[in-house]
């Protein structure tokens, strides 16, 4: 009996192997149905003319082998198609993961770019705030300088206006010194303005007021020279009054009048005074140029102040625009963060669902592996039973051949003696052979039915493979096919039981033939016993008859030979 494994189980094992290969598992963890070597059953013929008594369903015809090869090739193609489909699905999953990675990399790059832009805007805002603070400080400094310059200008104007309100001396003598004291005060103030302690007071002096001051100084010097010619007494009085007024106001005028008094004492110093006058004129020219330069610097500072005001306003505008852009960027960044968080949640949900599907597939594959291992164990047991049955068949064939040879030999020996009995026995044997032929015909019908069932099973397996994507339907179909396979195996068991019954009947016939052979021997012995008294009587009568008294005596060996010749 050839127990072939279920093609559905083989296809399920191949599909499981394809799924495992698609999931990244090694193919060595799943055993293929072609891994076991099918031991071909011997098909040697018997020397007798009768066909063998037992025929395995997997033996004999090349058509079964070709159909089996076609089934295997079809299963292999379907397994390859399934593996290609799983590879396509895994490639699709890998493409999806690559697209998600690209999206996440783009999002991360955009996030980093936004962070860099925000950082640059913050740095720019810090620099603008620092520049704004510096501009505010410069503005305050310029405002304080402007205030100090205004105060100095007001003070100078007040100082210029104060000599006109001072108390007057005698009309004849006090007018020249009073007139000469103002240019001295102005020159002193100019000298004081030239000092290092008051650099801010120089730009306030007006250039137009320099001409009458210098004219007054020249008039003062001329009056000094004239008074030198008039007399020393009046010069002393005028010089003393002018020195007192000058000392009360300016130190420089006091020094100048001291020099003038010294020159009055020494008439030889008039030339030196003239030289000093020239030097003072040169100094006045230089001071005029300095005043002009200072006025230009004041204008420049005012223009720069206006420019700084404009820059400050522009910085305020840019600051407001930067704050608006920063708020917009913050809103955009918050929107992007919300969208990214939603995408992340969606991806996490998809990943969890994919993990659940993978876990279910792995559990299903483990279950299929367990079922496959059980099927392979059952197949190995069936293979061992098949080998044992084939050995039994060989033994039975040898025994039947021996029995047939013995029967033929005994038939040849007993053919001459018991024709009638042999004919009856032959008729019985013919009937038995006819029954055996009928049983073989029935067995062939059962075999065809089994092949039909196997074809139906293969068709059902193909239908199951076509609908293999639905695992629950696959389970139900597998259970149905298992039930059908059990029924087919039950039918096969019934057929085998019938063959065993035939074998038993054959054994009974062999026993009957042996009994008949024993009966034949008994009949031969009885015939010998029945025929032996008549022969002996004839021989005795012939030997001891009075007709032939002189005849030779008979030999008992010859008599036995004649007896054997008479008995066929």
Residue 487: inside a domain? yes
Please state the domain count of the chain.
2
The larger pLDDT score, comparing residue 432 to residue 533, is at: 432
Structure tokens at 307: 């420019």
What DSSP character marks residue 170?
-
Q: Is 167 in the same domain as 303?
A: yes
Residue 266: inside a domain? yes
Residue 28: inside a domain? no
pLDDT digits 0-9 by tens, 531-557: 876 555 555 555 555 445 454 454 545
Structure tokens at 342: 């939603």
- Single out the residue in 285, 308, 331 at which a domain terminates: 308
Structure tokens at 164: 């006109």
The larger pLDDT score, comparing residue 215 to residue 527, is at: 527
Return the percentage of the chain with pLDDT > 90, whole number. 4
Angle at 33 (CA atoms; ends 32, 39), nearest 5 degrees = 130
pLDDT of residue 510: 93
**What DSSP line would sit under 348-396, residue for residue?**
HHHHHHHHHHHHHHHHHHHHHHHHHHHHHHHHHHHHHHHHHHHHHHHHH
The CA distance from 82 to 71, in Å, is 16
pLDDT of residue 508: 92
Q: Which helix (H) or strand (E) holds 194?
A: helix 175-194
- Find the mean pLDDT for residues 353-374: 86
Contact 27/17 with Cβ under 8 angstroms?
A: yes
Is the pLDDT confidence value at 463 over 80?
no
Count the Cβ atoms, other than its own, within 10 Å of residue 443: 20
pLDDT digits 0-9 by tens, 256-283: 566 656 555 555 566 777 787 788 778 8
Residue 495: inside a domain? yes
Structure tokens at 392: 């039994």
Q: Is 303 in the same domain as 168?
A: yes
The CA distance from 222 to 217, in Å, is 9
List the end-to-end C-alpha distance of the chain, in Å, as a whole number.
47
Return the percentage of the chain with pLDDT > 70, whole number. 61
- Single out the residue in 254, 278, 308 at which a domain terminates: 308
Residue 251: inside a domain? yes
pLDDT digits 0-9 by tens, 117-155: 888 887 878 888 788 888 888 878 888 887 887 787 788
Residue 269: inside a domain? yes
Structure tokens at 285: 């020219």
Please, which residues have CB within 8 angstroms of residue 27's CB and are 6 or more apart in sequence?
17, 20, 21
- Residue 177: is it exposed, middle or buried by C-beta count within 10 angstroms (0-12/13-18/19+)? buried
Structural domain span for residue 445? 416-524
Residue 563: inside a domain? no
Q: Closest Cα partner for 34 from 69, 83, 66?
A: 69
Q: Closest Cα partner for 374 from 28, 17, 31, 35?
A: 31
Contact 253/185 with Cβ under 8 angstroms?
A: yes
Is the pLDDT confidence value at 5 over 50?
no
The larger pLDDT score, comparing residue 546 to residue 409, is at: 409
- Single out the residue in 308, 325, 358 at which a domain terminates: 308
Per-residue 3-state assignment (H helix, E strand, C coil) for 222-258: HHHHHHHHHCHHHHHHHHHHHHHHHHHHCHHHHHHHH
pLDDT of residue 525: 92
Count the Cβ atoms, other than its own, within 10 Å of residue 233: 9
- Residue 386: is it exposed, middle or buried by C-beta count within 10 angstroms (0-12/13-18/19+)? buried
Query: Which of 244-258, 309-323, 475-489, 551-565 is the least confident region?
Result: 551-565
pLDDT of residue 27: 44
pLDDT of residue 354: 84
């Amino acid at each position: 009996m050839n127990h072939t494994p279920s093609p559905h189980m083989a296809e399920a094992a191949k599909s499981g192997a394809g799924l495992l290969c698609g999931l990244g598992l090694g193919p060595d963890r799943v055993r293929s149905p072609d891994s076991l070597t099918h031991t071909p059953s011997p098909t040697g013929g018997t020397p007798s003319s009768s066909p063998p008594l037992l025929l395995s369903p997997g033996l004999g015809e090349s058509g079964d082998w070709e159909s089996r090869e076609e089934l295997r090739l079809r299963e292999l193609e379907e397994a390859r198609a399934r593996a290609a489909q799983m590879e396509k699905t895994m490639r699709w999953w890998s493409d999806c993961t690559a697209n998600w990675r690209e999206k996440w990399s783009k999002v991360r790059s955009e996030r980093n770019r936004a962070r860099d832009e925000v950082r640059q805007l913050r740095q720019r805002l810090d620099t603008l705030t620092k520049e704004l603070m510096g501009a505010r400080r410069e503005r305050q400094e310029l405002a304080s300088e402007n205030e100090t310059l205004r105060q100095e200008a007001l003070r100078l104007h007040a100082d210029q206006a104060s000599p006109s309100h001072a108390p007057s001396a005698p009309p004849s003598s006090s007018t020249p010194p009073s007139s000469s004291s103002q240019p001295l005060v102005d020159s002193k103030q100019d000298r004081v303005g030239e000092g290092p302690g008051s650099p801010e007071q120089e730009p306030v002096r007006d250039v137009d007021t320099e001409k009458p001051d210098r004219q007054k100084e020249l008039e003062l010097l001329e009056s000094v020279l004239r008074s030198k010619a008039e007399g020393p007494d009046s010069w002393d009085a005028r010089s003393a009054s002018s020195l007192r007024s000058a000392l009360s106001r300016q130190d420089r005028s006091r020094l100048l009048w001291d020099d003038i008094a010294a020159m009055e004492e020494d008439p030889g110093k008039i030339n030196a005074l003239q030289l000093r006058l020239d030097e003072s004129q040169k100094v006045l020219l230089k001071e005029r140029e300095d005043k002009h330069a200072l006025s230009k610097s004041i204008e420049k500072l005012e223009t720069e102040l206006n420019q700084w005001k404009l820059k400050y306003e522009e910085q305020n505008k840019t600051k407001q625009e930067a704050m608006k852009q920063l708020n917009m960027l913050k809103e955009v960044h918050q929107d992007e963060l919300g969208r990214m968080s939603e995408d992340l949640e969606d991806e996490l949900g998809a990943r969890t669902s994919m993990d659940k599907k993978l876990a279910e597939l792995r559990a299903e594959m483990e279950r299929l592996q367990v079922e496959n291992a059980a099927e392979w164990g059952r197949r190995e047991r069936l293979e061992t039973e098949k080998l044992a049955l084939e050995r039994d068949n060989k033994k039975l064939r040898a025994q039947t051949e021996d029995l047939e040879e013995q029967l033929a030999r005994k038939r040849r020996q007993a053919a001459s003696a018991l024709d009638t009995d042999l004919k009856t026995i032959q008729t019985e044997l013919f009937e038995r052979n006819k029954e055996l032929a009928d049983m073989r015909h029935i067995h062939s019908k059962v075999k065809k039915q089994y092949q039909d069932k196997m074809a139906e099973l293969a068709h059902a397996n193909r239908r199951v493979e076509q609908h293999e994507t639905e695992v629950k339907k696959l389970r139900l179909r597998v259970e149905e096919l298992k039930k059908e396979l059990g029924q087919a195996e039950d039918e096969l068991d019934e057929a085998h039981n019938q063959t065993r019954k035939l074998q038993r009947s054959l054994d009974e016939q062999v026993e009957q033939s042996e009994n008949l052979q024993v009966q034949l021997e008994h009949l031969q012995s009885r015939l010998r016993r029945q025929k032996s008294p008549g022969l002996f009587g004839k021989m005795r009568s012939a030997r001891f008859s009075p007709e032939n008294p002189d005849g030779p005596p008979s030999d008992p060996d010859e008599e036995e030979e004649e007896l054997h010749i008479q008995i066929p």
